[in-house]
Amino acid sequence: MTFQTINPATNKLVKTFDEMTPAVVNKALENAATAFGDWKKTDYKERSQLLYTVAGLLRAKKKVLAQLITLEMGKLLSHAEGEIKLSAEIFDYYAKNAKGFLADKVLNPVHGKALIRYSPVGVLLGIQPWNFPFYQVARFAAPNIMVGNTVLIKHAANVPQCAIAIEELFTEAGAPLGLYTNLLVSHDRLSEMMADKRIRGVSLTGSEVAGASVAAEAGKHVKKSVLELGGSDAFIILEDADIDKAVEWAVVGRINNNGQCCVASKRFIAVESIADKFLEKFKNKLAEIIVGDPTEEKTQLGPLSTEAAAVKIADQVKRAVEGGAKVLLGGKRVDREGAYMQTTLLTDVKPGNPVFYEEFFGPVALFFKVKNEQEAIDLANDSPFGLGGSVFTQDIERGKRVANQIDTGMVFINHPTWTQADLPFGGTKASGYGRELSELGIDEFVNNKLIRVSELSDPF
């Protein structure tokens, strides 16, 4: 297998990398295990200094690194710079807060004294997606390196230069050999790697199929796994919502990252009293979206990550229409070179439609009209996914009540599902399990070790 940089704006091959040999991968595992033996003994000050340095390098190289992101997966250049900024913030966040998060927790047992001490577990494997090639790595690597673990990264095949660049940042920052290692390996070799006793845990962000495979393999070898598997976020507009504000955020929620975001707003559910008004304004705003070269400042929607991704979503729209859906806007590929898809708005997608339960990973919005709040909640929950969701209302307490009834890992009120370093990220149902970011994100791959001190008169 080879790893290729193919510019999705032109579909032209830019650069090719060979897969690592088994001997090279084994040496990487050996280095990671050796590094863990030393790294787990370091103090939080040394670990945090490394992360602060990585964050500083990200900021210093922001423009160059952003260009790599845009080249390899088509993200708008301005958004790519934003991703680098967010990644640096994540490294800073854990460098600053990990010591407090991992401080001993004193218990008060009936007899004796006891505490919980948080300690690292070993070498971890992170399987990362292409859609946020730096941010996804940051939210996995930063907390776990602060815990004292070492990490191996198997990145997506279409962003090899981004993957290599991140490892180079750690090397330049002074990370010891084996602390952070990028692996250019195929998915076919992951089973063999997860069986290796030197790997103690695995985290994957990807598809439901990939997640099921990784979870099964990890379970087979009694290893902890964390999965973030995409979603089909509902965007609920209640009758008392600020419609103009809801439309503004609906557009952002749907086309952010060219529509290729796990927590993108994908199903727009409006109560009937304001549904037509919202739909008309939403359609008009989507129609104004400027599609073009992701490096140009005026562009609002770039290409999908690959030609295969564009073909897939165009086929989904075709199957939706064959199943009874109506195309209110777009629906076809853009007539230009590259992996482009028109901004698309579908209505009348009924439960019997073959795409009803599918995730649309691109600039395609599905619109639904419901009678009332309860129908909106029921429809939002009628999905195999449970990652995020949004509720738009000017009554915040009402918004909280609705949010409490939505079966997802995250719900935002008056904002599409979003991310930042100090907010936990993760889902439920087919969207996976476990959490990343915030204090919760540092607690996935630790040994919560009980230390109990007995008194001489202890009855046990």
What are the catalytic residues? 228, 262
**What's the rounded Cα separation, in Å, for the pair 357 and 212?**
18
Contact in structure between 346 and 317 (CB atoms under 8 Å):
yes
Q: Is 59 exposed, middle or buried (0-12, 13-18, 19+ CB in 10 A)?
A: middle
Buried-exposed string 86-96: b where 16+ CB fall within 10 A, e elsewhere: bbbbbbbbbbe
* Residue 299 token pair: 């562009």
State the amino acid at position 160 in one-letter form. P
Q: Classify residue 341 by its DSSP letter.
A: B
Give 419's contacts (C-beta < 8 A, 6+ positions apart).
86, 135, 263, 425, 437
Within 10 angstroms of residue 217's Cβ, the number of other Cβ atoms is 18
**What's the rounded Cα separation, in Å, for the pair 184 and 2?**
9
Q: Is 44 exposed, middle or buried (0-12, 13-18, 19+ CB in 10 A)?
A: middle
* Residue 297 token pair: 């400042």
Contact in structure between 131 and 206 (CB atoms under 8 Å):
no
Buried-exposed string 98-131: b where 16+ CB fall within 10 A, e elsewhere: beebbeeeeeeeeeeeeeeebebbbbbbbbbbbb
Within 10 angstroms of residue 369's Cβ, the number of other Cβ atoms is 19
Give 350's contacts (C-beta < 8 A, 6+ positions apart).
323, 324, 325, 356
Alpha carbon distances (Å) from 367 to 144, 223, 345: 40, 41, 7
H helix or E strand, kind and range, residue 228: strand 224-228
H helix or E strand, kind and range, residue 371: none
Beta 113-120 vs 123-127: how paired, if at all?
unpaired
* Residue 409 token pair: 């890992």
**What's the rounded Cα separation, in Å, for the pair 339 and 348?**
27
